[in-house]
Structure 1
Amino acid sequence: MSSQQAPSRFWSTIKRLSWRAFQLLVVLSMIGGAVYWMKFSPIPVTEHRVERGLIVAEVMGTGTLEARVEATISPKISGRIKRVLSDQGERVSAGDLLVELDDQELQQQVAIAEANADATRAGIERLVADKERAVATYTHAKRSHSRKQSLARNNAASEDELEQSTEALAIAVTGLSRSEAAITEGQKELVAAEKTLEYHRTRLDDCLVRAPFDGLIVSRNRELGDVVVPGTAIMRLISTKQMWISAWVDETEMAKLLQDQPARIVFRSQSSQDFPGKVIRLGREADRETREFIVDVDALELPTNWAVGQRAEAFIEVARKDDVVLLPANLVAIQDGLPGVFVAIDNHATWRTVKLGLRNRDRVEIVDGVTAGDIVVNPIDPKSALSEGRKVVAP
């Protein structure tokens, strides 16, 4: 190797090592910048100032709107529908005619029963006339017998005449008894005829199906000309005087519930509006599969448009506190198994363990850990995670 080549190679090596060192420095700077950005750069957060206010603890149940009183309109007798006078969605009053069955045959049966009853009454009138004649015959025979007995005591009448008068009296007594028995039998026949007439009239009246109470017809299942039998559902009628939500509630909430507790009802058709309610009945049997039981919540007010069977949520008030420290429930996190929040102090996140009190689906009571006026922060980006001392910035 010549003396001129050695310095050249030396400086070439120096340049190569310098370039690699520069590259390494750039990589380390980028890594350091990334680490700094991930660990120490400010995290954009939303801020919430802790306030005091009212909190209401609620138990939620999901159910359907039902009527407390309802009836299936069904005929008492078999027949063909002749007229339908009410339809689905119509309001009716107690006693209103809803359905009429074909009654031609029953009218004939009533006419026959009326004729039989009239004939029986006429027969009784004839029997009464026969009795009056028998009474007159008996009275005459009794007087004649008494006179014959008086004459016989004075030897003014023969034994034959006395026997004849006695026989005539016996025949008169028998005739009177027969006429009385005939009247009794006729009266019994009249009772039977009148009962038969009453039966046929009742069956004729059963052709008219009437509303048992004031209410609303929610469904109609039969049409003109259909043949129906007892038990056939022609219509379904409900009373709108009391409507309730039959809500399924988890059995773990059972101890908190009492009758007359206030509630709010949220119908899925109007999820942004609450309607007032009140607990009126607690179920006494839990479902063995879902471990839920029924709570009936009286719907004190209904939407303009509603339907029996529509879904709704009932939120039953079980406790309330006023002037307590409140936070949105979604701001409370869990670290090491304990609830807490991040509070902004000098633009840095500080973890505080909190003690919780009443809560509902939106807010929670803070018994200890933060006070009114504290600023609780939460990352804007769900992928970001706060840590103790991390710098935060509100946009």
Structure 2
Amino acid sequence: MAKPCRRPFSEAATAHEKPSGVTVMRRNRVLFGLALLALAAALAGVVWTAFLRPIDVTVVRTERNVPIQVFGLGTVEARVLSRVGFEMPGTLTELHADSGDRVAKGTLLAHLDSREQAAKAAQARAALKQAESSIRQSSAALERADATARQKEQINKRRQQLVASGGVSTEVAEDAQAAVDIAQADLSQARSTVEVARANREQAEALLLLEETRLSKHALYAPYDAIVVARNLELGSMLTAGEQLFTLVDPTSVWVLAYVDESKAGQLKVGQPAEVMLRSMADQRFAGEVARIDIESDRVNEERRVYVRCVRCPTEIHLGEQAEVLIDVDALAEARLVPQAAVLDRKGSEGVIWTVEDGRLARRLVSLGQTTLDGRMVITGGLTPEARIVAKVESGFRVGRPVSVKDGEAP
């Protein structure tokens, strides 16, 4: 009996493991399907992350009692500042004040050598006395001439009567009339002498006033209650007329000259309350008020010059010290504020902001008003009461996308 033919074991195994064409096609289809499922899942994840997943947002609250302030930077100045000196040239012989001193009105600050001018004043005083003596002398002469004229007039009347009756000659009557004419001329001359004497006295009085005025200008007095800011010369110095010796300020006139951006200066008014912060006292604030707003602005820096008077200032002042001012221009009882960074496509008083409405993002064109000191803008129109304002714009914002408002962030 013949034995069956057997294949080697290795060949049989190889023939058994080799897949058919149908099997390969089925396996490729399965792998392709799995790849499509993975891609779809990835796309779904991307869509979910980018468009459907709720995004966390921060919304602002409605605030109450919102102050609207304007910031200004400037320096400490004084409205009343005087650079004083002598009107007369001379040598300094007395100094009674120095930098930092407080002096009352009328206090003697300095004196020039006045001996020469004092002598001139004494000479003018003597001339006045001489003129007054001349008046008395000429007045006495006038009285004498007047009496003589009256006497001659009476004699002339009697002789004119006698010449008519033949009691005296015509020659005697003519002599009496001539004596009257001479007496009248003397009287007129005496009157002129008195007028000249009076004019001389007026001239002497004017000269005395001039010399005494010049003498008084050798002394320098404080024109008001002041603080001496600077003293420029020392004893023995030679001064020319008008040379500055002291710089004085009225401490009650100290204020801050602040420069305010023109875009923020529209609501400024005289009398508005303000706060002053000095660089040397950064931890303190001093009450003040707007005292003056210059009509002319700085053309280069586009800033308005505003003067803030300090109501309660420190006793020690330093002119030129840097100072900051905060001016209260308005106060809002209630306001909805949005940070400037969250306002898009701003055009004038309008801009676009993101809001949360019915749990989803929306874009709204709103009207914008005043700006707070920290850069937030007041929304004056364009929103419903239910709309909540997004405080910070994040990547991934899309209109209609659901949001998740953080706890405690909602108004």
TM-score band w.r.t. shorter chain: 0.7 to 0.9
Give the whole-Å Cα distance in 2 for the aligned partners of 1:69 and 1:342.
54
Q: Which one of the candidate residues 223, 227, 242 is aligned to 1:231?
A: 242
The equivalent of 2:192 in structure 1 is 181
Q: Which one of the candidate residues 271, 292, 300 is aligned to 1:260?
A: 271
- Whether the aligned pair in 1 keeps the contact of 2:355 and 2:389 (CA below 8 Å) is no
The equivalent of 2:312 in structure 1 is 301
| Amino acid of the structure 1 residue aligned with 2:161 | S
Q: What does 1:13-92 correspond to in 2, within 5 Å?
A: 52-92=63-103
Q: Which one of the candidate residues 133, 145, 160 is aligned to 1:134?
A: 145
Deviation of the 1:228 alpha carbon: 2.1
| Amino acid of the structure 2 residue aligned with 1:361 | L
| Amino acid of the structure 1 residue aligned with 2:65 | L
The equivalent of 2:183 in structure 1 is 172
Deviation of the 1:107 alpha carbon: 0.7
| Amino acid of the structure 1 residue aligned with 2:222 | A
- Whether the aligned pair in 1 keeps the contact of 2:71 and 2:373 (CA below 8 Å) is no
After superposition, the C-alpha distances for 1:141-168 in whole angstroms (9 at most, x for unaligned) are 1121111111111100011111111121
Question: Structure 1's 190 and 335: CA in aligned 2 closer, same or farther, altered over 3 A?
Answer: closer
Residue 120 in 1 paired to residue 143 in 2?
no
Deviation of the 1:104 alpha carbon: 0.3
Deviation of the 1:127 alpha carbon: 1.5
| Amino acid of the structure 2 residue aligned with 1:103 | S
Residue 240 in 1 paired to residue 255 in 2?
no
After superposition, the C-alpha distances for 1:317-360 in whole angstroms (9 at most, x for unaligned) are 22222454668x69x557888887999xxxxxx98979776543
| Amino acid of the structure 1 residue aligned with 2:93 | K
Give the whole-Å Cα distance in 2 for the aligned partners of 1:122 and 1:88.
51
- Whether the aligned pair in 1 keeps the contact of 2:90 and 2:240 (CA below 8 Å) is yes
| Amino acid of the structure 2 residue aligned with 1:134 | A
The equivalent of 2:43 in structure 1 is none
Give the whole-Å Cα distance in 2 for the aligned partners of 1:49 and 1:250.
28
Deviation of the 1:284 alpha carbon: 0.8
Give the whole-Å Cα distance in 2 for the aligned partners of 1:237 and 1:160.
86
Q: Which one of the candidate residues 362, 370, 374 is aligned to 1:362?
A: 374
Q: What does 1:195-234 correspond to in 2, within 5 Å?
A: 195-234=206-245
- Whether the aligned pair in 1 keeps the contact of 2:74 and 2:256 (CA below 8 Å) is yes
Give the whole-Å Cα distance in 2 for the aligned partners of 1:158 and 1:223.
90
Bigger Cα Rg: 2
Deviation of the 1:76 alpha carbon: 2.2
Give secondary structure in 2 for the equivalent of 1:255: coil
Give the whole-Å Cα distance in 2 for the aligned partners of 1:340 and 1:74.
64
Residue 283 in 1 paired to residue 294 in 2?
yes
Give the whole-Å Cα distance in 2 for the aligned partners of 1:267 and 1:369.
44
Identity of paired residues, percent? 28
| Amino acid of the structure 2 residue aligned with 1:151 | L
Query: Mind listing any 5+ residue stretches in structure 1 that lack a counterpart?
Result: 1-38, 40-46, 344-349, 379-384
The equivalent of 1:21 in structure 2 is none
Give the whole-Å Cα distance in 1 for the aligned partners of 2:204 and 2:345.
91
Give secondary structure in 1 for the equivalent of 2:258: strand
Deviation of the 1:303 alpha carbon: 3.3
After superposition, the C-alpha distances for 1:73-128 in whole angstroms (9 at most, x for unaligned) are 12222222221111211122222211111110111001111111111221222212
- Whether the aligned pair in 1 keeps the contact of 2:59 and 2:391 (CA below 8 Å) is yes
Give the whole-Å Cα distance in 1 for the aligned partners of 2:307 and 2:345.
41
After superposition, the C-alpha distances for 1:229-253 in whole angstroms (9 at most, x for unaligned) are 3321111111122322111122223
The equivalent of 1:31 in structure 2 is none
- CA-based RMSD of the aligned residues comes to 3.8
Give the whole-Å Cα distance in 2 for the aligned partners of 1:235 and 1:57.
43
Query: Mind listing any 5+ residue stretches in structure 2 that lack a counterpart?
Result: 1-48, 50-57, 407-411
- Whether the aligned pair in 1 keeps the contact of 2:371 and 2:378 (CA below 8 Å) is no
